Amino acid sequence: MLDKALVVHCAPTLAGLKTGSLFTALHRPEAPLAEQAAAWDRRLAGKGVRLAVLRRGRQGSLLYVYRPERLAADLARPRVADFLARRGYAGLDASGAVEQLRRRLAAEASFPHEIGLFLGYPLEDVEGFIANSGRNCKCCGCWKVYGDEEQAARCFSRYRKCRAVYLRLWQAGRSVEQLTVAAS
């Protein structure tokens, strides 16, 4: 069942604090993952949250839970749009960009690090990660930080608190739908 994984890995996105979250869900014979993912996408869509399978593997699938309106705003920022255009994302809306990311994940052996922008990470951190091959960061939390360390630390703290509160509420009986904040 994906409900616990959604709470553990996606609480900040479900709460509306974060653009998107990414996690790998293992395949289980008794519960086909593709069907579960499609069902959760339908259940969350009314709250302005989508779930997309970005890549299928033999053992598990890479799932992306995101807020399309927030993703569209993030990707439309001029520097971000220029950065993504150089990587083949020119002129795409949010759903087109997600589809292009899916194609990149399928076609390339290496992980396309622009994915950080789809998760709401700052552009300077994504650029820093690429330029430094993941080394020499100022600090590391939900992502590797190359820019504003204090801002990132505050963000990491908010995400940790959100995850703890959501997990506690879910364990007390709240459903994922009840925990998902509707888009405004």
Cα 113–chain centre separation: 13
Position 34 scores a pLDDT of 87
The average pLDDT across 120-132 equals 98
Burial of 43: CB neighbours in 10 Å, binned 0-12, 13-18, 19+: middle
Amino acid at 69: E
The amino acid occupying position 51 is L
Q: Count Cβ neighbours within 10 Å for each residue of 155-184 and write b for 16 or more, e otherwise.
A: bbeebeebbeebeeebeeeeebeebbeeee
Confidence of residue 79 (pLDDT cuts 50, 70, 90): very high
pLDDT exceeds 90 at position 39:
yes
Task: Give residue-wise pLDDT tens across range 88-110.
Answer: 998 889 999 999 999 999 998 78
Span 8-24, mean pLDDT? 98
- Return the percentage of the chain with pLDDT > 90, whole number: 86
Q: What is the pLDDT of residues 138-177, one digit of tens each?
A: 999 999 999 999 999 999 999 999 999 999 999 999 999 9
The closest alpha carbon to 141, from 161, 111, 112, 169, belongs to 161
**Max Cα-Cα span within the chain:** 47
Residue 30 has pLDDT above 90, yes or no: no
Residue 177, both tokens: 């739908």
For tokens 């994915």, the residue is 115
Per-residue confidence (pLDDT) for residue 171, from 0 to 100: 98
* pLDDT tier at 130, thresholds 50, 70, 90: very high
The neighbouring-strand residues paired with 28 are 31
Mean pLDDT, rounded, of the chain: 95
Whole-prediction pTM value? 0.95
For tokens 């990491």, the residue is: 156
Residue 104 has what pLDDT? 94
1 pLDDT tier (thresholds 50, 70, 90): confident
